[in-house]
Structure 1
């Protein structure tokens, strides 16, 4: 791993280094840096919960989940699903090609596929939960945990933000404008597109009465 990251606690296995080079080659630098910071903050938040790498979770899997969690926003990862699902599938292909066992690939796939679903991810194993926690903390630190004095400055010196939140927004919306099915109504990508375009979402009743339907509203009278 490049000396620019010296002093930051990144796992340095051969697989981790290979994945880092791969992701750095396909992602926007702002998104790559966000993914790297997500690992640092995920690990920190785990420590605040008494979770320690090697004892309570697999540090390599946490790193891989964080590093690859937004790979669906790259040109290589841009398929025909929501970006989180595209990213999970791309990560699975990459890790499988690297000889990673199906059981370990599944953990990383779950971490990426669930990272937009906070309440679900938080109830999963640490390698999954801490990807979501770390990614969220990097975009908007909330809650009772405060970073050690000067730590964020050291992180940002090695991994500058490069307008991360704005770049992520533009990437998600840009993909979905080009392929609207990547941002279905009521999903997070769908909400960002709605904000950008001022589109009007259908109501529940409209969705349920579109043809073909089971006609659940025909003759229906609510109680009371």
Structure 2
């Protein structure tokens, strides 16, 4: 993996290397590869919009957030919250334990916690917006025109896709089936759960709203 730091211009810091090692140790190759492509595609989306790493945003923080953004889908990161928040907590604890300052670790936390929040993440600071953009480009292809064709080819060759979409969907929904608290109503995990496991009943918003404050006018 070390050669990729030079080949793709990753921020070459001890913490970046440790984080990448963590991803490949605790995640499947599919998810870890997706996390690296997320960084490459997010950085490219930023450059297409005039955002230069090191000038418009902290490239190390973007890299850390991207490579750890699916930590909530690992056994180590699987808690009782939606996977984005569990992953943010896991990443922050890992980085703080290795000396990252609280304010910098908080940027990583926010980036990971918000990375599926369409309409919100894109309006936040660049590290948050570019993780969101990169993950979306990699999983859905939306916005892929921002990624140079040669970079996309090199990234997909060096970090193979390995049926990424299906594995991500399966990991998120499997957690939610085991623990419904991980798919709160109207969240991204809940949306996937309703599509892939329609047999699982979810509360109707109408019933929730109409049942609020019983006995009051």
TM norm structure 1? 0.90
Give the equivalent residue in structure 1 for 2:77.
77
Report if the CA contact (8 A) 2:137-2:144 is conserved.
no
Taking the aligned partners of 1:164 and 1:32, their CA distance within structure 2 comes to: 10
Cα distance change on mapping 1:62 and 1:150 into 2, 3 Å: same
2:43 corresponds to 1:43: yes
Give the equivalent residue in structure 2 for 1:97.
97
Cα distance change on mapping 1:143 and 1:24 into 2, 3 Å: closer
Give the equivalent residue in structure 2 for 1:205.
206
Superposed CA RMSD? 1.7
SS of corresponding position for 2:119: helix
* Offset of residue 215 of structure 1: 3.0
Give the equivalent residue in structure 2 for 1:117.
117
Report if the CA contact (8 A) 2:95-2:105 is conserved.
yes
Taking the aligned partners of 1:142 and 1:136, their CA distance within structure 2 comes to: 6
SS of corresponding position for 2:81: coil
* Offset of residue 204 of structure 1: 2.2
Report if the CA contact (8 A) 1:68-1:91 is conserved.
yes
Cα distance change on mapping 1:37 and 1:143 into 2, 3 Å: closer
* Offset of residue 11 of structure 1: 1.4
Give the equivalent residue in structure 1 for 2:58.
58
Taking the aligned partners of 2:87 and 2:202, their CA distance within structure 1 comes to: 26
Report if the CA contact (8 A) 1:48-1:145 is conserved.
no
Structure 2: gaps spanning 5 or more residues: none
Report if the CA contact (8 A) 1:5-1:158 is conserved.
no
Structure 1: gaps spanning 5 or more residues: 220-224
Report if the CA contact (8 A) 2:57-2:127 is conserved.
yes
Cα distance change on mapping 1:152 and 1:195 into 2, 3 Å: same
Give the equivalent residue in structure 2 for 1:23.
23
* Offset of residue 203 of structure 1: 2.8
Taking the aligned partners of 1:18 and 1:156, their CA distance within structure 2 comes to: 22
* Offset of residue 147 of structure 1: 2.9
Question: Residue by residue, what CA displacement relative to the aligned partner does 1:85-130 show, whole Å, maximum 9, x if unpaired?
Answer: 0000001100110011000010000000101112111111111110
Question: Residue by residue, what CA displacement relative to the aligned partner does 1:50-69 show, whole Å, maximum 9, x if unpaired?
Answer: 01011111000000111111
* Offset of residue 144 of structure 1: 7.6
* Offset of residue 200 of structure 1: 4.3
Report if the CA contact (8 A) 1:71-1:90 is conserved.
yes
Q: Computing the radius of gyration over CA atoms, which structure comes out larger, 1 or 2? A: 1
Report if the CA contact (8 A) 1:173-1:192 is conserved.
yes
Bigger helix share: 2
